[in-house]
Structure 1
């Protein structure tokens, strides 16, 4: 069996998806918009997709950004993970 390298992202990468899972409510959505706007000046808040869990306690918030590099993506993940409403960042 040969080991393959993971696919490499070419930057800038438009329409790069980021999904944030956390406690349902406006706090999570506001946090995601704030963080994305800080790290992507062209962020379009109208392209947010929000899905509630079956019982409504959790939400997934998916956004699309123009990824400019690994440093940007790491900073976004760090900022999102720092908030207690966030459980997982994909």
Structure 2
């Protein structure tokens, strides 16, 4: 049996959700937002959602961006992961 293919994204893709999970220390929120704005300067900051883990150790942040290309998403993911506080990017 073959693996099902991931659905194809048609670009540009408005309302593409990027979720970043990491340690909510220092300027984590501001630093991640700065990276997100670099890749989508028109990001609607009023839609950003923050959720702390049950023990308050990790913060999950959801952003809705306009994804322009596969390359943009790959580069965004790579840049976010350079921050040692970032645990995962979905």
**TM-score relative to the length of structure 1:** 0.90
> Matches of 1:55 and 1:83 in 2, distance apart?
22
Larger CA deviation: 37-46 vs 58-67: 37-46
Matched-pair contact (CA < 8 Å) for 1:27–1:85: no
Name the CA distance, whole Å, in 2 between partners of 1:83 and 1:7: 29
Residue pairs, 1:13-32, within 5 angstroms: 13-25=13-25, 27-32=27-32
Describe the superposition over 1:29-70 as per-residue Cα deviations: whole angstroms up to 9, x where unpaired: 112210111011211222110000111111101100000001
Unaligned runs of 5+ in 2: none
Residues 1:3 and 1:85: Cα distance change in structure 2 (over 3 Å): closer
- Find runs of 4+ consecutive structure 1 residues off by over 6 angstroms: none
Over the aligned positions, Cα root-mean-square deviation in angstroms equals: 1.4
| Secondary structure of 1:76 counterpart | helix
